[in-house]
Amino acid sequence: MAKAVTLSDVAAAAKVDLSTASRVLRGEGRVSPQTRQRILAAAEELDFRPNAQAQFLANGVSKTVGVLTMNAPATFAMPVLTGVTTTLGQLDVATLLYDARTDSGVLKESVRKLHARRIDGLLVLGDGILRAPLHSISQGFDVPVAYAYATSDDPADAWFMPDGVMAGRMAAEHLLNVGRRHIAHVTSNSDIGARDRATGLMQVLRAAEVPLALGKPLKGDWTRRWGAAAATQILRQKAPVDAIFCGNDQIALGAYGVLRAAGVRIPDDVALVGVDNWEGMVGNGDNLLTTIDPNLFELGRSAARFLTAATEGPYEAGAHYQGCSLILGETTMGPGDRTASDPEGLI
Partner DNA sequence: CTGAAAGCGCTTACAG
Q: At closest approach, how far in Å is the CB of 335 from a second copy? A: 9
- 60 interacts with DNA by CB under 7 A: yes
Q: At closest approach, how far in Å is the CB of 30 from a second copy? A: 27
For 107, other C-beta atoms within 10 Å of its C-beta total 16
82 binds, among a second copy, DNA, none (CB under 5 to 8 A by kind): a second copy
Interface contacts to a second copy, rule CB under 8 A: 1-2, 4, 49-54, 56-57, 60, 62, 64, 67, 69, 72-73, 75, 77-79, 81-83, 85-86, 88-90, 92-99, 112-113, 115-118, 142, 221-225, 249-250, 253-254, 257, 260-261, 276, 278-279, 281-284, 286-288, 297
166 binds, among a second copy, DNA, none (CB under 5 to 8 A by kind): none
Q: Which is nearer to DNA, 31 or 129 (CB)?
A: 31
- 36 interacts with DNA by CB under 7 A: yes
Q: Which is nearer to a second copy, 86 or 189 (CB)?
A: 86
Q: At closest approach, how far in Å is the CB of 105 from DNA? A: 24
Piece in contact with DNA (CB under 7 A), picked from 11-19, 172-180, 263-271, 305-313 = 11-19
Q: At closest approach, how far in Å is the CB of 146 from a second copy? A: 18
Q: Three-state secondary structure along the chain?
A: CCCCCCHHHHHHHHCCCHHHHHHHHCCCCCCCHHHHHHHHHHHHHHCCCCCHHHHHHHHCCCCEEEEEECCCCCCCHHHHHHHHHHHHHHCCCEEEEEECCCCHHHHHHHHHHHHHCCCCEEEEECCCCCCCCECCCHHHCCCCEEEECCCECCCCCEEEEECHHHHHHHHHHHHHHCCCCCEEEEEECCCHHHHHHHHHHHHHHHHCCCCCCCCCCEEECCCHHHHHHHHHHHHHCCCCCCEEEECCHHHHHHHHHHHHHCCCCCCCCCEEEEECCCHHHHCCCCCCCEEEECCHHHHHHHHHHHHHHHHHCCCCCEEEEECCEEECCHHHHHHHHHHHHCCCCCC
Q: At closest approach, how far in Å is the CB of 139 from a second copy? A: 12
- 20 interacts with DNA by CB under 7 A: yes
8 Å CB contact between 324 and 167: yes
Q: At closest approach, how far in Å is the CB of 270 from a second copy? A: 16
Distance CA 297, CA 291 (A): 16
Q: Which is nearer to a second copy, 82 or 233 (CB)?
A: 82
Piece in contact with DNA (CB under 7 A), picked from 15-23, 95-103, 145-153, 242-250 = 15-23
268 binds, among DNA, a second copy, none (CB under 5 to 8 A by kind): none
104 binds, among DNA, a second copy, none (CB under 5 to 8 A by kind): none
8 Å CB contact between 131 and 193: no
89 binds, among DNA, a second copy, none (CB under 5 to 8 A by kind): a second copy
- 156 interacts with DNA by CB under 7 A: no
